[in-house]
């Protein structure tokens, strides 16, 4: 498979479409062996893990809330959200604060890897057959340096409706 | 937002305030009789509203306000007697103005005949007595000349140099001149040398200045008073001239200025070319006693001070915990910081504090309208309207209060004939009062009506299936049924109240504000509702409690006492929950560790603490916690802003350590008990034990608070 990132950097193109396509930027991060990306425009800041205050009767992936300069921000464990097991948090873990529809929430990830610039048309759709429910929270897939990066649809992942449904999940 | 929108918004804000002031002045006059000051104040208010309305083209408002203003003017001059009927009429007229302002704000139409009856009454009042409106407006400027031959007459030279934007502030020079004319014999000159050519002329600006020679026995103060409103918009020079300077242009018609300034004034320009020396004799600036500040700015400040409080607590905690020994200076500095932060916070909260007057002032109108619709005779008496409370509380108070007043007038106060039959005055009274009581504001609404008919309430509740057929309820419980959703006892459903929404919504609103509501019902004598609300929704005095590794804040106002239970007092109720016997009462207890799923919490209840808390309806529950860590004032933060509401938690705060702690919601927690079992069983449980056990039980307890 060809590397999209390299293509963008070199500016070369064997595909006429590229010129009509917008470039998009994603911040990518690692959760276990997998790599995810979120739209850079929705990222407010990236900070180290700090102890949270657990909220009672919340789903397990809801790690609790932290004080972000006087604002109470909930932190979600992406690993747990995708049912990949609990994150054993250490000081090296990273929280990506994103803004979704006016709400600020934090996503707990293992490490932030890169900023990715890609063309919109390089985003591949999610294959129809997918065994996990994860796929509905993904915008698409891109390939960078022969690695697959799943682009998160954070609006869907932490949609207001989703937050409201949490009580039903417990 | 365009400038125009901005102006409009300011105008409507101002109207709200003015209407409130006028309302309260009129109400005072109704009780204590009319005063010249009062009438002047009312006139000024109405005039300002009319002026602004004219600037924005609210025709209906201007037309109505004009009649209203004319009547007021005649009252001021004593051409119409200020009787109680007239004051009542003025009050009603004020309501109409309020309605028209509201309609102008929302852009809706109230129909042609809105306020027509009041308008015709005003017209009748005007024409009934002295000269008609038309005659009044034709009064010539040098009208009072004949009466000017008394001793002590001075000749004043008054120079009135308006700023260019005088008209934009809705001030009308003609009215001022007329008023000045009423002080004595006046000769006016128009100085029009500053009028530009027609194509440069902006019709919204004033290029004319005036010079008056006034022969009068009035004081300089009185002359200044005429120009009181335009003080900031003009330069006013008043001097006393010993020698009479007569012959100048008379019959000037400044009223034409507004429409065609240049044309009408031209002929006189030649005659008076005394350019006023500029920059001299500035008018005395009024003492600034208040200022208008954008609310966002205040809110930002409140937030920042909140952060400061947290940071200060954090520094203090860090230093206390650090191994570094604190020098005396540092210790003192820290103390000062604590002191100053607290003071700063209090002053900032004081900025946001508002008297409840703004809400109370809306109620008389409501009562008048209601009593008219319902054909009842009701008066409202308010007291303590200067009691101050945080703006957020004031804002959220309006709706619940309105519902409750409506309820009192509709359901409480009887028809006049019924009242007479019951030996009461025909006119019912609703007393609305506010006062500060132990760090909270207590607002009560008391009527002298029929009170809550418990028989009927009970019957209705049975009929609607709200309670079982054979349930026995205490009087208090019956009274509280009116807060039940979907409950209404009105015999007929009126459009005033009685749609079954209202009291339950009221209760919900009050609850959301962390308040409590109480009913004091004396059948036949009346009902008194008391609301107890926190003074602010931004900070809260709380007890810091620990459960396992978690730290929670419990609002101090909810806490009755804290005790360490002994084993024999705690009994399990099979299939439900545990109860604790306290001085002969069984109180359900709730293990915070269980409902919140906290690990590592103490399991042995005799090593834990029970915090006895009171919910509304004076229901008590015991919360089982591990320890008490102290008392603290905390800044309330919303969980919902970025997440969602959590049952049993009313908000969050940030501790000195920088960590987030949740604030417990006692009412929500008591619901959690309720959900575990049948609510009715719970109520029956609070049975009183025999008195003899009391003393023994009390001895075994260690009281912490």
The domain that contains B667 carries what CATH number?
A: 2.30.30.40
ipTM: 0.77
pLDDT category, B662, cuts 50, 70, 90?
A: very high
Q: Does residue B282 form part of some domain?
A: no
pLDDT category, B686, cuts 50, 70, 90?
A: very low
Which pTM was predicted?
Answer: 0.55
Does B524 share its domain with B583? Answer: no
Q: Scanning every residue of chain B, which has its alpha carbon at the shortest distance from the alpha carbon of A165?
A: B644
Poorest-pLDDT segment among A15-19, B346-350, B378-382, B601-605: A15-19
Q: Does residue B276 form part of some domain?
A: no
Distance from CA of B658 to the nearest CA of A (A): 7
Q: Does residue B281 form part of some domain?
A: no
Which structural domain range is residue B486 located in?
A: 356-534
Q: Does residue B308 form part of some domain?
A: yes
pLDDT tens-digit readout, B361-412: 888 888 888 888 888 889 899 999 888 888 888 888 888 888 888 888 888 8
Flag if B660 and A54 touch (Cβ within 8 Å). no
Does B363 share its domain with B412? Answer: yes
- Is some CB atom of chain A closer than 8 A to the CB atom of B641? yes
Report the CATH number that the domain containing residue B502 is assigned in CATH: 3.30.565.10
Poorest-pLDDT segment among B65-69, B282-286, B478-482, B629-633: B282-286
pLDDT at position B618: 67
Q: Do residues A3 and A19 touch, judged by C-beta distance below 8 A?
A: no
Report the CATH number that the domain containing residue A36 is assigned in CATH: 2.40.50.180
Answer yes or no: is pLDDT of B479 > 60: yes
Answer yes or no: is pLDDT of B498 > 80: no
Of A48, A47, A5, A12, residue with least CA distance to A26: A5
Q: Does residue B437 form part of some domain?
A: yes
Which structural domain range is residue A162 located in?
A: 4-169
Poorest-pLDDT segment among A88-97, B290-299, B515-524, B673-682: B673-682
pLDDT category, B190, cuts 50, 70, 90?
A: confident
Does B334 share its domain with B447? Answer: no
Flag if A103 and B642 touch (Cβ within 8 Å). yes
Does B563 share its domain with B605? Answer: yes
Can you tell me the distance from the alpha carbon of B386 to that of B356, in angstroms, rounded to the nearest whole number?
6
Flag if A71 and B643 touch (Cβ within 8 Å). no
Flag if A57 and B303 touch (Cβ within 8 Å). no
Does B179 share its domain with B228? Answer: yes
Q: Does residue B275 form part of some domain?
A: no
Does B586 share its domain with B686? Answer: yes
Does B107 share its domain with B26? Answer: yes
pLDDT at position B49: 84
Q: Which of B534, B566, B598 is the last residue of a domain?
A: B534
List chain B residues with CB under 8 Å of A64. Answer: 660
Helix ranges (DSSP H) in B548-665? 592-595
Answer yes or no: is pLDDT of B552 > 90: yes
Distance from CA of B589 to the nearest CA of A (A): 18
Number of domains in chain B: 5
Does B165 share its domain with B187? Answer: yes
Q: Does residue B283 form part of some domain?
A: no
Does B83 share its domain with B183? Answer: no
Report the CATH number that the domain containing residue B153 is assigned in CATH: 3.30.70.1110
Number of domains in chain A: 1
- Give, rounded to a whole angstrom, the gap between the first and last alpha carbons of chain B: 55
**Site of tokens 């409507």:** B12
pLDDT category, A159, cuts 50, 70, 90?
A: low
Poorest-pLDDT segment among A119-128, B142-151, B324-333, B463-472: B142-151
Answer yes or no: is pLDDT of B497 > 50: no
Does B417 share its domain with B508? Answer: yes
Residues paired with A25 in a beta bridge = A117
How many contacts, defined by CB atoms under 8 Å, are there between A and B?
71
Does B606 share its domain with B508? Answer: no
- B296-303: long-range contacts, CB 8 A cutoff, minimum separation 24: B298/B348, B298/B351, B298/B352, B301/B348, B301/B351, B302/B348, B302/B349, B302/B352, B302/B538, B303/A70
Does B412 share its domain with B505? Answer: yes
pLDDT at position B595: 85
Poorest-pLDDT segment among A50-64, B71-85, B520-534: B71-85
Select the residue of A55, A70, A71 nearest B646 (Cβ to Cβ).
A55
């Amino acid at each position: 498979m060809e590397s999209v990132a390299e293509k963008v950097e070199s500016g070369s193109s064997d595909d006429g479409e590229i010129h009509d396509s917008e470039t998009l930027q994603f911040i990518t991060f690692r959760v276990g062996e997998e790599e995810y990306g979120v739209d850079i425009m929705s990222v407010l800041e990236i900070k180290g893990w700090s102890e949270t205050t657990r909220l009672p009767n919340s789903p397990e992936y809801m790690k609790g809330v932290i004080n972000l300069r006087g604002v109470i921000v909930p932190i979600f464990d992406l690993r747990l959200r995708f049912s990949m097991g609990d994150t054993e948090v250490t000081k090296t873990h990273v929280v990506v604060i994103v803004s979704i529809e006016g709400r600020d929430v934090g996503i707990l990830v293992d490490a932030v890897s890169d900023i990715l610039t890609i063309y919109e048309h390089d985003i591949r759709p999610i294959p129809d057959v997918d065994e996990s429910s994860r796929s509905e929270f993904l915008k698409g897939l891109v390939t960078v340096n022969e690695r697959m990066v799943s682009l998160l649809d954070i609006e869907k992942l932490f949609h207001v409706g989703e937050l409201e449904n949490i009580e039903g999940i417990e | 937002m365009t400038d125009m929108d901005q102006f409009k918004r300011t105008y409507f804000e101002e109207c709200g305030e003015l209407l409130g002031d006028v309302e309260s002045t009129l109400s005072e006059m109704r009780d204590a009789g009319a005063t010249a000051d009062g009438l002047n104040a009312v006139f000024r208010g109405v005039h300002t509203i009319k002026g602004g309305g004219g600037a924005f083209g609210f025709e209906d408002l201007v037309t109505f306000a004009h009649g209203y203003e004319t009547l007021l003017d005649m009252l001021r001059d004593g051409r119409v007697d200020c009787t109680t009927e007239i004051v009542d009429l003025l009050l009603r007229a004020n309501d109409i103005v309020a309605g028209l302002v509201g309609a102008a704000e929302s852009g809706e139409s109230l129909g042609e005949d809105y306020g027509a009856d009041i308008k015709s009454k005003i017209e009748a009042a005007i024409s009934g007595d002295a000269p008609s409106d038309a005659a009044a407006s034709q009064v010539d400027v040098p009208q009072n000349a004949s009466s000017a031959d008394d001793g002590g007459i001075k000749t004043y030279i008054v120079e009135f140099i308006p700023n260019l934007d005088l008209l934009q502030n809705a001030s009308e020079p003609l009215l001022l001149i007329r008023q000045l004319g009423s002080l004595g014999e006046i000769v006016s000159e128009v100085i029009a040398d500053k009028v530009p050519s027609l194509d440069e002329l902006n019709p919204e600006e004033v290029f004319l200045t005036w010079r008056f020679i006034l022969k009068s026995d009035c004081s300089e103060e009185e002359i200044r008073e005429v120009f009181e409103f335009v003080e900031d918009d003009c330069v006013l020079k008043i001097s006393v001239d010993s020698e009479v300077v007569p012959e100048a242009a008379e019959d000037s018609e400044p009223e034409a200025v507004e429409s065609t300034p240049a044309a009408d004034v031209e002929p006189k320009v030649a005659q008076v070319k005394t350019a006023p020396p500029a920059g001299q004799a500035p008018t005395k600036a009024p003492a600034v006693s208040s200022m208008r500040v954008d609310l966002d700015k205040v809110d930002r400040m409140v937030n920042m001070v909140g952060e400061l409080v947290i940071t200060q607590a954090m520094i203090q905690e860090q230093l206390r915990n650090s191994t570094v020994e604190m020098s005396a200076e540092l210790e003192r500095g820290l103390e000062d910081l604590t002191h100053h932060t607290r003071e700063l916070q209090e002053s900032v909260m004081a900025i946001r504090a508002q008297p409840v007057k703004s809400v109370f002032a809306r109620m008389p109108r409501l009562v008048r309208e209601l009593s008219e619709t319902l054909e009842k005779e009701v008066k409202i008496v308010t007291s303590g309207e200067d009691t101050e409370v945080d703006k957020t509380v004031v804002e959220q108070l309006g709706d619940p209060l309105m519902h409750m007043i409506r309820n009192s007038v509709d359901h409480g106060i009887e028809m006049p004939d019924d009242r007479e039959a019951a030996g009461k005055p025909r006119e019912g009274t609703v007393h609305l009062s506010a006062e500060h009581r132990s760090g909270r504001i207590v607002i009560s609404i008391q009527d002298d009506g029929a009170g809550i008919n418990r028989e009927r309430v009970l019957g209705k509740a049975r009929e609607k299936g709200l309670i079982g057929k054979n349930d026995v309820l205490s009087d208090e419980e019956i009274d509280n049924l009116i807060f039940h959703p979907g409950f209404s006892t009105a015999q007929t459903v009126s459009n005033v109240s009685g749609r079954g929404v209202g009291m339950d919504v009221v209760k919900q609103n009050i609850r959301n504000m962390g308040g409590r509501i109480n009913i004091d019902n004396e059948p036949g004598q009346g009902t008194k509702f008391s609301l107890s609300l926190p003074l602010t929704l931004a900070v809260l005095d709380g007890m810091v409690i620990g459960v396992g590794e978690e730290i929670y804040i419990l609002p101090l106002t909810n806490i009755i006492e804290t005790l360490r239970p002994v084993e024999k007092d705690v009994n399990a109720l099979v299939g439900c929950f545990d109860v604790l016997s306290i001085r002969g009462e069984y109180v359900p207890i709730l293990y915070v560790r269980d409902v919140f799923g906290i690990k590592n919490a103490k399991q042995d209840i005799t090593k834990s603490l029970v915090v006895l808390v009171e919910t509304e309806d004076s229901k008590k529950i015991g919360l089982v916690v591990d320890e008490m860590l102290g008392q603290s004032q905390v800044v309330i933060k919303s969980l919902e802003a970025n997440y969602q509401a959590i049952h049993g938690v009313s908000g969050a705060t940030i501790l000195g350590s920088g960590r987030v702690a949740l604030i417990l919601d006692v009412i929500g927690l008591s619901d959690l008990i309720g959900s575990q079992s049948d609510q009715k069983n719970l109520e029956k449980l609070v049975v009183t034990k025999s008195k003899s056990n009391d003393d023994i039980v009390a001895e075994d307890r260690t009281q912490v608070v």
